[in-house]
Each structure stands twice: as C-alpha cells, then as structure tokens.
C-alpha cells in the first residue's frame, strides 16, 4: 500500500474509493504517531472517556495512554452501534474524523443518539471538505442544518481556524448542544439518499 502516513495525514484524496477496512488499515499503520486529542481531555480533568475507532492499531495505541474507560472497535457509519445505549454520554468529540473516506454524513445521527439532551457534540471540518469530498458535497451541511431545524441540536458556536490541518487548510470547529437524542435515522438517511 502507498505510504500510509501520506494517505492518513496529507493526501486525503487517495482514500477516495477505499473500503472502510482499507482506511482502518491505513490508520493502524500510523497509529503510533497519531495526535493525543483525548489525552488533552484527561489532563483537563475528564475521567470517564471512551474511545471508538475501526482500526485495531489505533485502539492498541490509544489504550497505552491509560485514559480510556472503554474502547469500541466499530465504524460509525450511520448504523446503530448496539453496544452503546441511547443517551450514553454527556459529550462527544470527533477529532479529525470528517474527511475523505472517514465518517459519512449519517454518523451525525448516531452521534446525536449517543449524547444526552443538554450534552455537547464537538467536531471540526476543513472548509474544502464540504465540496471536495463526494460524500459531503451538498449533503453534510444541509444535514447539519436540517437537524437543527428539526430540534435535534442547536449550534452553540462555530470557530474558524486558518491552520486546521498541517498549518495549511482552513476549517471550522462546530459545537452543538443536543436537544433530542431520539433520532429517526431512517427518515434522515432517506433524505440523504435523495440529495445524492
């Protein structure tokens, strides 16, 4: 496989057309160099932190840090993760998860299901991904807005960063307050399919 580090951190377009398993393998190969976002939460006093990633290598490296209570080897691809109950979490952070070959639009629905009403969801998206990533083009932003219009969540704030990835790609970090975690996934997935 082409240089995994390049595919994971720079040439995101190379992931276009890869299966979810192939993408997970890429991140398994670079897991020992991945940023320590969740460790930052630990240093700020959070003690009940679970992780979720489809890559065994990422899970192995993450568990070495000693900050996770549980870790789930799962894809967040829009299906309901049976091991995790509705309203399981006070907050959810998706770090570097919205890009080519990573989380699909429907992952937002599972995020909202997992977080208790009043809880916080935080994720970042490079500006270019809204149009350059086929999965997100004319789908991701409308879904985010539809979820707000339907009362599922409310945008708390959106912060712009000029150096979102590798000091080169501008993007925004979004923070949403969950209002309703009882999500009619089928309804939203059908709407997404019509937007294709």
Q: Is the pLDDT of residue 183 over 80?
A: no
For residue 193, the model assigns a pLDDT of 61
Q: Give mean pLDDT, residues 114-140.
A: 94
Mean pLDDT check: name the lowest of 26-40, 59-73, 150-164.
26-40
Q: Is the pLDDT of residue 163 over 70?
A: yes
Backbone angles phi, psi at 40, to 5 degrees: -65, -35
- Kindly indicate whether the domain formed by 76-194 is annotated with CATH number 3.40.50.150: yes
State how far the alpha carbon of 37 is from the alpha carbons of 40, 150, 186, in Å: 5, 31, 32
Q: Is the pLDDT of residue 103 over 70?
A: yes
For residue 167, the model assigns a pLDDT of 62
Q: Please list, in sequence order, all residues whose beta carbon lies within 8 angstroms of the beta carbon of residue 8, skipping any fewer than 6 positions away.
A: 26, 27, 29, 30
Higher pLDDT: 27 or 89? It is: 89
| Domain residue spans of the chain | 1-35+54-75, 76-194
For residue 38, the model assigns a pLDDT of 55
Q: How far apart are CA 121 and CA 66, in angstroms?
A: 23
For residue 1, the model assigns a pLDDT of 42
pLDDT tens profile 12-58: 778 888 888 888 888 788 777 655 555 677 788 878 889 999 989 88
């Amino acid at each position: 496989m082409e240089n995994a580090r390049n595919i994971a951190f720079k040439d995101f377009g190379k992931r276009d057309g890869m299966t979810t398993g192939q993408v997970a393998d890429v991140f398994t190969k670079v897991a020992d160099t991945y940023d320590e976002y969740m460790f930052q939460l630990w240093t700020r006093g959070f003690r009940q932190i679970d992780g979720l990633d489809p890559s065994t290598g990422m899970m192995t490296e993450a568990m070495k840090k000693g900050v996770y209570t549980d870790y789930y080897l799962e894809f967040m691809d829009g299906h309901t993760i049976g091991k995790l109950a509705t309203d399981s979490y006070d907050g959810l952070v998706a770090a570097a998860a919205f890009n080519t070959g990573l989380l699909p639009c429907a992952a937002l629905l599972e995020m909202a299901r997992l977080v208790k009403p009043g809880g916080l969801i935080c994720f970042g998206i490079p500006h270019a991904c809204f149009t350059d990533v086929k999965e997100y083009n004319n789908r991701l932003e409308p879904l985010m807005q539809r979820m707000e219009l339907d009362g599922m969540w409310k945008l708390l704030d959106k912060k712009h960063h000029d150096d979102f990835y590798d000091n080169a790609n501008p993007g925004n970090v979004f923070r949403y307050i969950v209002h309703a975690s009882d999500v009619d996934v089928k309804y939203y997935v059908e709407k997404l399919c019509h937007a294709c």
